[in-house]
Amino acid sequence: MDTFIGILNYLVFFAITAGIYAVLCLGLNIQWGYTGLFNIGIAGFFAVGAYTSALLSGPPPGPLDWRTVGGFQLPWVVGLLGAIIASGIIAFFIGLLTLRLKEDYLAIATIGIAEVIRLILKNEGWLSNTVWGIKHIPSPLHQPIEAGVSSFLKGHPQLSPWLVHFISNAYNWFYLALVLVILGLLYWTSERSIRSPWGRVLRTIREDEAVAAVSGKNVFSFKLQSFVLGAMVMGMAGSLYAHYAKFIDASSFEPLYGTFFIWVMLIIGGSGNSKGAVLGAFVIWGIWAGTEFLTGPLALSGTQAGALRVIVVGVLLELTLLLRPQGILGEEKIVSRMLKK
């Protein structure tokens, strides 16, 4: 029974991470799936969200900190909103500069900008405490829930060990619920938007910009809207990550975890389909986390196993692109659905 609770607790931890990835995928789906904007600088917006939230809601700099700003200890919600707004503002200015570029140039520009953001966060101590990162970022409602759990356990000393084990994990269950509620709201918003005439214009731009322009649509304005909204969602994911991990540093936002994985998830799950975006996040994170346990049976060293796992994900991406380019769930045929109901 205790092993079962152990596995269950692990699954909760797994689902929180996958849920945060699903949020990132929904953000990318707006940009790439709907509008065809080739953003390979996801990690940049993810990082801006995480740091903004940490600076707004996190503790002030400690005695050994390089930081001279931030740590305002504001409520978590303020951090979350700040993350969304900051990513949106940054995306707005980046978009103004780059969205007139053709898609491959947009890709180069965005990856460059994401690296610039990461290196600023790695080196500007006054802002980010360089490689030592920001520590002790509070998780929302952490203290009351933990206090409740420990007083409950004190009051019931005769509980069997597996039940204690289960109840001790209450905070993670709460955080999972929080992530899933936010994911649900985003899913609903995203679906409603894409099925509206607004979404139809985005898809037209993805298919052929010239046609959108001949139909009197301000292509640049719509691209900017899509880019900024997608980045705001990515910033939100950054906040969710920072308050769960409690510690962030620039290495959390390297291109492999911060950008590449999200692309793989969206493409395998089904670009242009919100369900596909969420599914892809859980499937790929499942494969990634699952292969971690293979290191034992395969008798490989840690480095070898790590490289093998990346290869597995890469091969899956290739196979999808070759055999099922639309992903597990492709875009639906009839998307404009405001007609029904």
Partner 1 sequence: MLEVVDLEKNFGGIKAVDGCSLKVEQGSITGLIGPNGAGKTTLFNLITGFYEPDGGKIWFNGEIISGLSPHKIARRALTRTFQIPRELKEMTVLENLMVVPENQVGERIWNSFFRPGVVRRQERELRDEALEVLEFVELIDLANEYAKNLSSGQKKLLELARTLMAEPKMILLDEPGAGVNPTLMKKLTRNIENLRQRGKTFFLIEHDMDLIMNLCDTVIVMNKGRQLAEGTPDEIKKNESVLEAYLGGR
117, 237, 248, 269, 293 from 26: Cα distances, Å:
22, 10, 22, 11, 28
Give the ranges where the chain is alpha helix by DSSP (H): 2-28, 42-57, 76-98, 103-123, 125-128, 142-155, 161-168, 170-194, 197-207, 209-214, 219-245, 255, 261-269, 274-292, 295-298, 302-323
Whichever of 43 and 205 has its CB closer to partner 1, that residue is 205
Which token pair is 73?
């200890």
Asked if 237 and 20 touch (Cβ cutoff 8 Å), the reply is yes
Distance (Å, rounded) from C-alpha 80 to C-alpha 43? 17
Tell the smallest beta-carbon distance from residue 102 to partner 1 (Å).
Answer: 15
Give per-residue burial for 221-247: e unless 16+ CB within 10 Å, then b: ebbbbbbbbbbbbbbbbbbbbbbbbee
Whichever of 207 and 292 has its CB closer to partner 1, that residue is 207
Nearest C-alpha neighbor of 78 from the set 140, 27, 134, 22: 140
Whichever of 10 and 188 has its CB closer to partner 1, that residue is 188
Whichever of 142 and 200 has its CB closer to partner 1, that residue is 200
Under the phi-then-psi rule, with left for phi > 0, alpha for psi from -120 to 50, and beta for the rest, what region is 196? beta
Tell the smallest beta-carbon distance from residue 8 to partner 1 (Å).
Answer: 37
Under the phi-then-psi rule, with left for phi > 0, alpha for psi from -120 to 50, and beta for the rest, what region is 162? alpha
Whichever of 323 and 334 has its CB closer to partner 1, that residue is 334
Tell the smallest beta-carbon distance from residue 268 to partner 1 (Å).
Answer: 18
Interface residue list for partner 1 (CB under 8 A): 189, 192-193, 196-198, 200-201, 203-204, 207-208, 210-219, 225, 229, 272, 331, 333-336, 338-339, 341
Tell the smallest beta-carbon distance from residue 187 to partner 1 (Å).
Answer: 14
Tell the smallest beta-carbon distance from residue 24 to partner 1 (Å).
Answer: 21
Tell the smallest beta-carbon distance from residue 341 to partner 1 (Å).
Answer: 8
- At residue 168's C-alpha, the angle toward residues 164 and 174, to 5°, is 135
Whichever of 58 and 199 has its CB closer to partner 1, that residue is 199
Whichever of 115 and 209 has its CB closer to partner 1, that residue is 209
Tell the smallest beta-carbon distance from residue 193 to partner 1 (Å).
Answer: 6
- At residue 268's C-alpha, the angle toward residues 267 and 272, to 5°, is 45
